[in-house]
Structure 1
Amino acid sequence: MTEFYPSLSFDELVTRVRRCTLCEEHLPLGPRPVVQLSESSRILVVGQAPGRRVHETGLPFNDPSGDRLRDWMGIGRDVFYDESTLAILPMGFCYPGTGKSGDLPPRPECAPAWREALLARLKHIELTLVIGQYAHAWHLSGPRKSVTDNVKDWEKHWPEVLPLPHPSPRNNLWLRKNPWFEKDVIPALQQRVGDILGPFSTHNA
């Protein structure tokens, strides 16, 4: 059950998150929570869990998935890694390890322990990007559906929330099979990001 830690300041809460060892015994490389947030953040990116490269560098989406996500949003690394503008809170804060078909799912202990307490402090979020099945399950209301069906139904949640497929190169086939996504959704996303952050923050991806 989530504790909201009302006696803690925002900085104290984030410090406690970054020192979390709740899942330590299950993490092959040990705990290293990777989050980015500020009380002034206006866009929230919700991923799955850090990959190995992100674990090693401590920088969220510091990989090919991040490159594609930034292209989808139409912003560069300088804007993406400005915590005063953009918060990044994956469903699991630590690298969970690798299985037979890629990284393992986010550890189930993480979200119940911290998520609601952190989201309650982010009072200026205007757009939440919800990436992949575990993020969809937590952040989208209504009956549970596939990632593809959620993304197809993106206008139901727009303009406050946008469900996305994972930007991983592993999803290249999905993108080829669903050309409507880059034709219809990406331009709307880039326009929305520009409206929130200002025209000089974005570029033509």
Structure 2
Amino acid sequence: MIDPITQEIMKLYLEHQGLPQELSPTDQQAFLETESERIAERIDNMKIVMEQQVLQRYMRDNGQPPPYMEKVGMINQAWAQATDFVINEEIYGQLPPEMEAYPPDQESPEAEAERDQARIQVHKSDPERWRNPLNCADPDKEADRLTDQLWKGRPVQFLYYAAHLIAARIEDNEPYPTSQNHPLYPSFTSQLDERVDEHAASGK
């Protein structure tokens, strides 16, 4: 069962971010839940960071811990600021000026890996996922070898997309060119040229 905080984040995410239209309704729901849980986890991590900061600052300035009730108030305020920080950054895409000095929380390698894996899983059914390689697993050696064989000498950005396109086709058990004489080679090359041009024009 989804906890109330995550449910509230899901509502905000829907209102201000929306969902990838290329995904099926089922995948959209999975994406929404995964993103909301990630944001909720960031809030929890940031609460810990900011609570420690405010208590350490008090100790440094006063030479002793704060009285109990004052400590409770300081922690509650730190938690509220942590929530605002993450929500503003993740949902609204901006930070209030008074919060710009706060350091970002550090996500553990394990949590980051889990989040990346969840995102890859959500997009796994999308045949166009290669266009945004962050949504793809890393190409294996076979995909890298074939990419180099087919498009050797092409720019790095082209090869980057090419490796992910070939890898996606292999994963999906779909046809892909195996030589420059293959019937699919021209269309694949055209798709990749188009994607590189899009990236050059938009920066993403």
TM-score where L is the length of structure 1? 0.28
**Structure whose alpha-carbon radius of gyration is higher:** 2
Structure number with greater CO (CA < 8 Å, separation at least 6) is: 1
Give the structure with the higher percent helix: 2
TM-score where L is the length of structure 2? 0.29
Give the structure with the higher percent strand: 1
